[in-house]
Amino acid sequence: MEGHQLQHQAACMRKALFDQGYLDDQFLQLEDLEDEANPNFVEEVVKLYYSDSARFIRNIELTLDKNPFDFEKLDDIMHQFKGSSSSIGAKKLKTECTQFQEYCKIGNFEGCMRTFQEVKQEHAVLKKKLESYFQVFLLVHVYNCVYVCVDVHFVTN
Amino acid sequence: MEEMRSDCSSSGVQELHVLAVDDSLVDRKVIERLLKISCCKVTAVESGRRALQYLGLDGERSSVGFDELKVNLIMTDYSMPGMTGYELLKKIKGSSKLREIPVVVMSSENVLARIDRCLEEGAEEFLVKPVKLSDVERLRDFILKGEEKSEREFSHKRKMSDDSCTLTPSSMASSPSSSDSDLPLSPMSIVSDEPRPKRARLLDDN
Which position has the higher pLDDT, A23 or B188? A23
- Would you call B58 helix, strand, or coil by DSSP? coil
Nearest chain A residue to B2 by CA: give it.
Answer: A35
Name the helix (H) or strand (E) containing B75.
Answer: strand B73-77
The per-residue pLDDT for B82 is 93
Fold assignment, B2-151:
Rossmann fold (3.40.50)
3-state secondary structure of B103: strand
Ordered by start, the domain boundaries in chain B are: 2-151
Of A152, A149, A143, A134, nearest to A3 by C-alpha is A143
Among A133-142, B98-107, B190-199, which stretch is predicted with the lowest mean pLDDT?
Answer: B190-199
Superfamily of domain A3-156: HPT domain (1.20.120.160)
Cβ contact (<8 Å) for A30 and B30?
yes
Using the predicted structure, report yes or no on whether residue B191 has a pLDDT greater than 60: no
CA distance A157 to chain B (A): 32
Residues 6+ apart with CB under 8 A from A99: A115, A118
Query: Best residue in A27, A33, A82 to probe B by mutation, most B CBs within 10 Å?
Result: A33
Q: Would you kindly state where each structural domain of chain A is located, as residue ranges?
A: 3-156
Whole-number Å distance between alpha carbons of B62 and B198: 29
ipTM summary value? 0.90
A93-129: b or e for each residue (b if 16 or more CB lie within 10 Å)?
A: bbbbbebbbebbeeeeeeebeebbebbeebbeebeeb
User: Which range, of A47-51, A144-148, A152-156, averages the lowest pLDDT?
Assistant: A152-156
pLDDT digits (tens, 9 = 90+) for A73-124: 999 999 999 999 999 999 999 999 999 999 999 999 999 999 999 999 999 9
Q: Would you call B100 exposed, middle or buried from its count of C-beta atoms within 10 A (0-12, 13-18, 19+)?
A: middle
CB pairs below 8 Å between A and B: how many?
57
Q: Mean pLDDT lowest for which of B10-24, B73-87, B137-151, B182-196?
A: B182-196
Q: What's the pLDDT band for B9 if we cut at 50, 70, 90?
A: low
**Chain A interface, best mutation among B4, B26, B36, B128, by max A CB count within 10 A:** B26
pLDDT tens track for B28-41: 999 999 999 999 99
Model confidence at B2: pLDDT above 70 = no
